[in-house]
Structure 1
Amino acid sequence: MGTLCLQVVEDGNLKGLLQIFIGLLLVGILVLGGCVAPNDDEELNEKASTEQVEKETSEEKAPKEDSSISEKEDTAENTPAAIVKKPASTVKPAPAKKTETSGTTAQVPVKLVKTIDGDTIKVLYNGQEINVRYLLIDTPETNHPRLGKQPFGEEAKERNRQLVNSGALTLEFDIGERIDKYDRLLAYVYVDGKSVQKTLLAEGLARVAYVYPPNTRHLTPFEEAQKAAKKKGLGIWSIEDYATDSGFDSDVVPAKNSGKTTTTSNAPNSTVSKPASTPSTNVASSQEWFQNCTELRKKYPSGVPEGHAAYQAKMDRDKDGYACEK
C-alpha cells in the first residue's frame, strides 16, 4: 500500500491519491461499524435479558394479595346465603316467665297434680310441677321420718284432698319469700275463691304456725278461725294439750282399749275444754274416743248421733248432728 501511495505521489497523481485515501477511510469505517454493532446488540440483548430476569424475580417475590382477595370476594359473591357460616350466637335463652303478683292479692290459676298431706300439695305452675306449702298453718303428719303418723294427720290430708279437688284451684303469694329452703312455693291456696287454709283451721284440722313476717297478710282471719275451732273443741283441739305452739305432742294421746279411753285428765272429748274450776263430773268415764270413722264404725257401723258418748264434731263433716253415718 505504501509503495502504491509513493508511486502515486511520485507520479504526481494527486487525484488518485485522494481517491485511495477516501477508499481507505470508508473501509475503516465499515470495519469499525461491523465490530461495534455486534457488541452493541449483545449488550442490548444482555440488558434486556437481565431486566426480564429481574422482573420475573420481582413478580415471584411480590405477595399475591390482590389475587387472594379477588378469589375471596368472588367466592363470597358466588356462595348461597343459606350455606354461609355465621358465628355461633352467644345470646342466652330468656328465663321462664315469672308470675309477678308480689304485693297484690291477685290469684294465679294452677292445676292440681296430687295431695301430699294436710298442708302441702303438688301443682303444675308455669309449666313445671312444684310442691306448694300452705302459708301460716300446720297440720299433723301422716308419714314423718321422725314423728311418724300423728293423730288427725290422715283426717287433715283427706279433708285437704276433698277441698282442692272440689273446684278451680288458685294460689296467692304474699310480699315476702316465695320459695322455702325445700324449694316449695309458699302460698295461700283457694278453691273457687274460698281459702283452704281458713277452712282447715275452722274445722280443727290445722293450727296457726310458721308465722314469718312479712308473709302475714291473712294472719288475723286465720287466728280467728283457729280460736273458734278451739272453743268448740274440734279436731286437734279435742285432745287436751295435743296442739301446742311448737307442734303436736302425740305423747298426750291416751292409749285405747277397744275404742275406750282411760279416765285420766287427758281423756279427749268433743266438748269445749273447761277451766280448772269446772266440776270434774263433766269429764265422764262413759266418753269414748276414736281415731277416725273407720275405727268408730267397727263398734257403731251406722255412726252415732250428737250427744252419744262416741260422737265427735270432727267426724260430723256435714254438720247434720250425726257422725260417721254411711
Structure 2
Amino acid sequence: MIRVKDGDSLVVDSNGNEVDVRLADIDAPEYNQPRGDEAHAALRSLVAEKDVRLDLIGGDAYRRIVARVHVGDVDVNAELVSRGLAWVRRAYDPAQELVAAEEEARANQRGLWADEDPVPPWIWRKTKQTDGSRKLGVIPEVECGTKRTCTQMATCEEAIAFLRQCKLTRIDGDGDGIPCEKLCRYYR
C-alpha cells in the first residue's frame, strides 16, 4: 500500500506501478462531511505499511480498480462498515455480509450511526457545498404527517426531507438512505 486517499480509496503499488483502488460496495463520508476524517484515519490504520490483497470486482468511471480489500484475514471494506464509518451501496448489489455489518453497526449506534442525522455521501455530494454548509432551498422544512407515501412527494428533495426530518422510513424500502427510489434515481 502506498497511501490512503480518503475513507474509501487508496493507492497501491502493483509491480512498481501506482494503482488507484476504490473499495467496492461501500461509500465513506467525504472529507468535509461529519466523520470524514475519522473514516480516512480508520482506513489508514487498517492498511498503512501492510500488504493488501485485492479481490477485483471491476473498474469505475474514474479509471480506478474497484475491489474488496483484505489485510491478512481482515476484510477492510466490511470492517469500515462494521465500525460505522461507511455506508453500504445497495445500488451495486453488495455482498450480504456487508449489509449485515451495516445493520449491526446501525443497531449498536457505532460511528456515524451514533449521529443524530447521518447523511449518506451520495446525498451529501448533491446537497452540500464544499464548505459543508447546506445549499439554500435544497432540502425543505416539512410538516410531518402531511405526506406518507412516495406518490405524494413532489420532488426528491421533499422525500429526503420527510425521511430525515420525520423519520418516515417506509419511503426508503431498501434502507440505503435514499427515499422513493424512482423519484430519487439521479441520487445514485
TM-score, structure 2 length as denominator?
0.62
* Partner SS for 1:163: helix
How far residue 245 of structure 1 moved from its aligned partner, in angstroms, is: 8.5
* Partner SS for 1:123: strand
Aligned match of 1:138: 27
> 229, 233, 257: which is aligned to 2:109?
233
Maintained 8 Å contact 1:189/1:196: yes
User: Quick one: higher RCO (CA 8 Å, sep 6+), 1 or 2?
Assistant: 2
Aligned match of 2:59: 179
Letter in 2 for 1:199: E
Maintained 8 Å contact 2:84/2:102: yes
1:170-221 alpha-carbon deviations (Å, 9 max, x no partner): 10013xxx221111010000011210011111111100016335xx4xx200
Maintained 8 Å contact 1:138/1:206: yes
> In terms of Rg, which structure is larger?
1
Maintained 8 Å contact 2:88/2:98: yes
Maintained 8 Å contact 1:164/1:191: yes
Letter in 1 for 2:92: Y
* Partner SS for 1:222: helix
Aligned match of 2:37: 154
Give 5+ residue unaligned stretches, structure 2.
133-166, 168-188
Structure holding more strand per residue: 2
Give 5+ residue unaligned stretches, structure 1.
1-111, 143-148, 254-275, 277-326
How far residue 166 of structure 1 moved from its aligned partner, in angstroms, is: 6.2
TM-score, structure 1 length as denominator?
0.37
Structure holding more helix per residue: 1
Maintained 8 Å contact 1:167/1:192: no
Aligned pairs, how many? 131
Structure-2 change in CA distance of 1:124 and 1:130 (3 Å)? same
In structure 1, what is the Cα distance between the partners aligned to 2:44 and 2:121?
Answer: 25
In structure 2, what is the Cα distance between the partners aligned to 1:167 and 1:133?
Answer: 17
Maintained 8 Å contact 2:27/2:121: no
Aligned match of 1:222: 98
How far residue 239 of structure 1 moved from its aligned partner, in angstroms, is: 1.9
> 123, 126, 129: which is aligned to 1:247?
123
> 73, 76, 80: which is aligned to 1:193?
73
Letter in 2 for 1:236: L
Structure-2 change in CA distance of 1:119 and 1:169 (3 Å)? same
Structure-2 change in CA distance of 1:166 and 1:123 (3 Å)? closer
Maintained 8 Å contact 1:132/1:184: yes
Letter in 2 for 1:197: N
Aligned match of 1:127: 16
Structure-2 change in CA distance of 1:223 and 1:163 (3 Å)? same
